[in-house]
Amino acid sequence: MGIFGFLKSTPDGALKKHAARVANKRSQAQDRWESIQALTKMGTPESIGALLKRFTFRVDPSITDQEEKDAVFQSIVASGETAVQPILAFLQSSESISWPLKMLGKLVGSEEVERALLDLLSTMDTEYERDPQKKIQVLSALEDHVSTQVFDAVRPFLEDVNETTRFHAVGALVAQNQEEGAQALSELLLREESVRVRARILDGFIERNWKLPGPRAELLEKLPTGYALDSSGNPRRT
């Protein structure tokens, strides 16, 4: 047996071979599927980390892509607690958090999911970046979590340079249902240029039945088409 054949026959060699196949969108579908099965049987943190790489790309046809990802998803979730740390590491490194977040939600409680999201957000800032999609996904996911920690972590992103990021920061802050958040959002409304973000703020006030604090004349100037203030200062849709 040659040296390369020997390496492939060792556990580490097999792991590397199958990990390379699963992470390569140009691998033959049959080879990739065999490697998915092999890594699933290993059931180690290292093999789970290798399987997670399958969520970093898409292949054609789309049905094959979905079948492979569904199989990997089920495999990782079935690994139970062993999968938690590899998923948390993947959340930090991956450009998209959709799949790992779903898996984590199957394995741990809401508080641990929230902690993972806050850990991610703590590595981010409000400055310009070419692709803020991961930050947007984190803020969007935090709309489903309510705590003082979420409120404090999300509030700075009302000042983000990216409009979509601000939109989801508003959504996450509204979800916290705190009076202090109402004040911060009303202040943002007065300086916000984006009609979409202003509408999201107003929808939040309507949803929570909050009175909109601030000078009425200035607030009226900031109301997008389709919104008005009643005599008590509460926003409403027209």
Q: Tell me phi and psi for residue 36, to 5 degrees.
A: -60, -45
Examine the fold and report which residue of 88, 108, 128 is the final residue of a domain before the chain moves on: 108
141-167: per-residue pLDDT in tens? 999 999 999 999 999 999 999 999 999
Task: Note whether 155 and 71 are same-domain residues.
Answer: no
pLDDT at 10: 58
Q: What is the mean pLDDT of residues 187-194?
A: 96
232 phi/psi in degrees, rounded to 5: -90, 0
Query: Does the pLDDT of residue 29 top 80, yes or no?
Result: yes
Asked whether residue 143 falls in the same domain as residue 80, the answer is: no
- What does the DSSP assignment read for 54-90? GGG---SSHHHHHHHHHHHHHHHHHTGGGGHHHHHHH
Same domain, 116 and 152: yes
Which of 90, 108, 126 terminates a domain? The answer is 108
Same domain, 115 and 217: yes
8 Å CB contact between 82 and 44: yes
Whether 117 and 91 share a structural domain: no
Last residue of a domain, one of 52, 74, 108: 108
pLDDT (mean) for 87-97: 96
Could you please report the per-residue DSSP string of 102-134? HHHHHHS-HHHHHHHHHHHHTT--SS--S--HH
The average pLDDT across 63-74 equals 97
Question: Which phi and psi angles does 214 have, rounded to 5°?
Answer: 130, 170
Q: Are both 93 and 129 inside the same structural domain?
A: no
Indicate if 21 and 127 belong to the same structural domain: no
Structural domains counted in the chain: 2
Q: What is the pLDDT of residue 214?
A: 84
Say whether both 182 and 228 belong to one domain: yes
Domain containing 49 equals 1-108
The tokens for 8 are 């492939």
Query: Under a CB-based contact definition with an 8 Å cutoff, are residues 95 and 52 in contact?
Result: no
Confidence of residue 3 (pLDDT cuts 50, 70, 90): very low
Same domain, 193 and 88: no
Average pLDDT over residues 102-123: 98
- High-pLDDT (> 90) share of the chain, %: 88
pLDDT tens, position by position, 218-233: 999 999 999 999 988 8
- Based on the fold, state whether residues 117 and 161 are members of the same structural domain: yes
**Number of alpha helices (DSSP H) and beta strands (DSSP E) in the chain:** 14, 2
Q: What is the mean pLDDT of residues 96-108?
A: 97
For residues 114 and 134, membership in a common domain is answered with: yes
One domain for residues 123 and 15: no
